[in-house]
Amino acid sequence: MTKPYPLKFEPEFKDRVWGGRALEKFGFKLPEGHIGEGWTIADHPNGTSSVVNGELAGQGLDQIREQFGREWFGTKGISEAGGRFPLLVKLLDCNDNLSVQVHPTDDYEGLPKGELGKTEMWYVLDAKPGAKIIYGLKEGVTRESLQAALDNGTVMDSLQELSVSAGDSFYIPAGTVHALCAGVVVAEIQQNSDTTYRIYDYDRPGLDGKPRELHIEDSLNVTAYEGAGATAMKTDNAVPGEWLQLAASPYFIVEKGIVNGAWSLATTPDSFTILIICEGSGHLKWDGGSQPYAAGESYLLPSSLGTYEMDGHSTVLRSYLP
């Protein structure tokens, strides 16, 4: 019988028109192309990450889920909708602007069969001077005025822009119009969904030379014109050995921690724990093993792991189910 241990995954990389090569700085061997996304913990028809350490090396997250289910993922840890793992974790390299987009809620009638809505959050790992994001609509924008702005080519005048720097955190509930812009690298934690409605894509060609599809009607339908509860925060006040909460949603809780030496922690029976190493390095230790960790890596800790220790000097994000 396989004893629970921290699972380290090989990301599945995605070629995107807005991507680049920045994820190489984490030591990943990237395929050719404009690599915009590394799906580091993924159990989705469009991408599955595979374990690279220990007894289960070579197995996909979907296979692990089928073998161990609630025993490893916790009483809350299996999504009833589609049966998939409930969260999707990515690293994003935004070498160019992403499309202006919005995601639906779980109850949107236009969702593809088997898909969930998409509430997400970003943690900025790196940002070039002057980097920004699009984060919500300006005050007073309505469906009618947004439609008119799309028709006459002035949609950017309806959107809020924010300057960003490393360490910034953004919570993006479904219905929030948003876009990452050129010059940022982020960790993204989201519902396990790949449904995105593009509102505007700068009239640029996609990787195939043709304009990428827009989803204007769906976008207008799912946008939360009065706001959906999006929040942004600086996280410089995180202190070693304490968790700073960045996002609390019905789908995930995300916290930031600073490891400075040895930090004793534990999983709980109701949820797995995801660790994303933002910077630094060290060792992850548990009953029966030890694993070196480094920036860019993601780990899935089974709910049944129990006590573990992070030893080293690093910044880490911890995610689990509420």
Instruction: State the CATH number of the domain containing residue 310.
Output: 2.60.120.10
The separation between CA 185 and the C-alpha centre of its own chain, rounded to angstroms, equals: 11
Single out the residue in 206, 233, 260 at which a domain terminates.
Answer: 233
pLDDT of residue 82: 55
Q: What is the mean pLDDT of residues 32-54?
A: 96
- CB neighbours of residue 119 within 10 Å: 26
Using the predicted structure, report yes or no on whether residue 89 has a pLDDT greater than 80: yes
Residue-number span of the structural domain to which 253 is assigned: 244-320
Residues 226 and 258 both lie in one domain = no
Within-domain flag for 1: no
| Number of independent structural domains in the chain | 2
Residues 51 and 163 both lie in one domain = yes
Residues 79 and 211 both lie in one domain = yes
Residues 218 and 292 both lie in one domain = no
Residues 78 and 217 both lie in one domain = yes
**How far lies 167's CA from each of 23, 122, 187, 317, in Å?**
17, 10, 11, 11
What's the rounded Cα separation, in Å, for the pair 104 and 108?
6
- Annotation says 204 is catalytic: no
Single out the residue in 204, 233, 262 at which a domain terminates.
Answer: 233
Residues 149 and 175 both lie in one domain = yes
- In the structure, what pLDDT confidence band is assigned to residue 70 with cuts at 50, 70 and 90? confident
pLDDT of residue 75: 84
Residues 201 and 253 both lie in one domain = no
Is 120 known to sit in a ligand binding site? yes
Is 297 known to sit in a ligand binding site? no
Residues 134 and 258 both lie in one domain = no
Using the predicted structure, report yes or no on whether residue 81 has a pLDDT greater than 60: no
Using the predicted structure, report yes or no on whether residue 1 has a pLDDT greater than 90: no
Radius of gyration of the chain (CA): 19
Using the predicted structure, report yes or no on whether residue 83 has a pLDDT greater than 80: no
Single out the residue in 193, 211, 233 at which a domain terminates.
Answer: 233
Is 313 known to sit in a ligand binding site? no
Of 84, 198, 212, 318, which residue is the catalytic one? 198
- In the structure, what pLDDT confidence band is assigned to residue 76 with cuts at 50, 70 and 90? confident
Residues 83 and 179 both lie in one domain = yes
Residues 225 and 248 both lie in one domain = no
- CB neighbours of residue 26 within 10 Å: 18
Determine contact, residues 282/313, Cβ cutoff 8 Å: yes
Residues 85 and 217 both lie in one domain = yes
Within-domain flag for 239: no
